[in-house]
Structure 1
């Protein structure tokens, strides 16, 4: 007889739980993995970069940066030689300004990218709102046109008044020609006009 295949149930000891099995279960979430690199919130980092970029674009930043550079230069020119930390070509000052510029440029670009994304979302919402407004306007235009067509077939007060005046004049003219028989003679049957049909 050939040996039977060993199943997962056969390999699992009697008291083992589902967590002890080597096979992963699809109905449960995986445990979080350990990461070597630290995790950060990109949205929080983007907000911080926008705050820094806004500050770099203010007159306050330019004023304090100018004050710091002037104090740096004055200290390294006028202070006693043993207290100076950056001699005349001011290489350390150049290095600090280059470092500040190398960080400021990507932060400003990141803030601009976030602003572009917001502008794109706003433009999409404005476009959808404009489409809805155009559709509403077209609907209202069709409704107003239908009302005008409907009102064209409705008898107005002036039209009814003019028709009644014409009818009164016609009756008066008939009455003047037939004083003895009246408006509707007794032997004459009342017939409807062809226009009333």
Structure 2
């Protein structure tokens, strides 16, 4: 069941270069049908529906994609689909969203989600999202990690303490964040069993983030 003070901030910027030639500036991968009948951003909103309903979703995008996102997501209030005037990367966008949500509801819990993930087990995924929101309600900053299946050099990694059970929904303290490694270092991370891909999904009270900035 959705909690009334949980909000989703969905990041949907980008310039349409990584998925070229299918994607373009006005048709970035988030608004394309990559798997199934829905676009990636439609899938993102739908899989969160039982945790955060569409009326509490905020979409952060750019002026090129906003018209198409408004068309694809009629269930999200159009005034909550925001276009940045120029690209300033992720942190300023998240900071703006936190400021807006705190002004709407001082105790707002904020989850940050990419709009271009493919998640094959949505029910299990929602279990982790709910657990992360519970941590945010306690005043902690939460992050979801993905168990690495290979030694990927294109992702950042999250390092946890020894003895953490992979796939557990129980929270575990993060020791440190690791930047994108070289191939040898990435292989060591995978072998160690306590490093996770950084999924770019963060959870906090809006006021906690603003105090940390």
Same fold (TM over 0.5): no
Higher share of residues assigned helix: 1
Larger radius of gyration: 1
Give the TM-score normalised by the residue count of structure 1.
0.17
